[in-house]
Amino acid sequence: MNEIGILARLRHQNLVTLYGCTSRHSRELLLVYEFISNGTVADHLHGDRAESGSLPWPTRMSIAIETAQALSYLHASDIIHRDVKTNNILLCKNFHVKVADFGLSRLYPNDVTHVSTAPQGTPGYVDPEYRQCYRLTEKSDVYSFGVVLIELISSKPAVDITRDYHDINLANLAIKKIQNRAVHELVDPCLGYDTDVTVKGKMTSVAALAFRCLQKEKELRPSMDEVLEVLKGIESEDYKNAMDGGQGSAEVIDIPMDYAVEGPSKNKNNNNTPPPPLRTPPAAPPNSFNDKGVSN
């Protein structure tokens, strides 16, 4: 009934369409959705549909943008999805996104700061602040989307018990690799990171964005509107042309290293000032990390 109440008020090209449902007096309660034929993003990244080269970087970039569009629309409609994950991002035959599964979603009135509720969601995607403080906000979806972004650049599952104990959660692994200037050890090598300067720049910029989304304290994360704006900026940049004709003009993508996932308590000035807002990525591809983040 929660899912019906949520979806009955929503219409968006990147949300799955609910056609109807059986009566509550029926023997079985069924929801009837449009049929999405191409499985889930998880299937194509590390599931039974995963094949090398079957999900190239431009397609993954499009998936990220369309998913962000859906979540931005939900937040504008005062709805928190609460279970954002690659298993809930369905793909049409042309790989357009349909975000699904609103059974855990909650209405989020715009006159409150948070919704108090017992933490629910999927391990590996749950906002750590929500899990600890029982305060659900729009930024909880932002954290989960950050995990999705890392899955898109790495092709790794959000949780994998075969990894080292401290790396079982992909979010922890990603934060460590980014802080250690080792994004090249995180990315899926099949995507052309080492051979295509354009792909390298865009993947590094997406890693920088995911870093912001995965901050443990919600105040340090961007809104979904900001996330969408930055993703569109990354997509629109022609890194290769910029490299050919505009050396020396690149901006730094600022990831303040004082703001690790532990939050503002690690800030050397200890002034609890949040990091600067996200910016459109540079015209040239970042290829190394400096002491403040990702540099050109």
- 188 is known as an active-site residue: no
Query: Catalytic one among 43, 48, 78, 83?
Result: 83
Show contacts of 233-238: CB within 8 Å, 24+ apart: 233/280, 233/281, 234/61, 234/202, 234/205, 234/206, 234/209, 234/280, 234/281, 235/61, 235/62, 235/65, 235/202, 237/201, 237/202, 237/205, 237/280, 237/281, 237/282, 237/283, 238/198
Cα distance between residue 270 and residue 96, in whole Å: 44
User: 80 is written with which tokens?
Assistant: 């928190």
3-12 as b/e: b if 16+ CB within 10 A? beebbeebee
Q: Which residues are catalytic?
A: 83
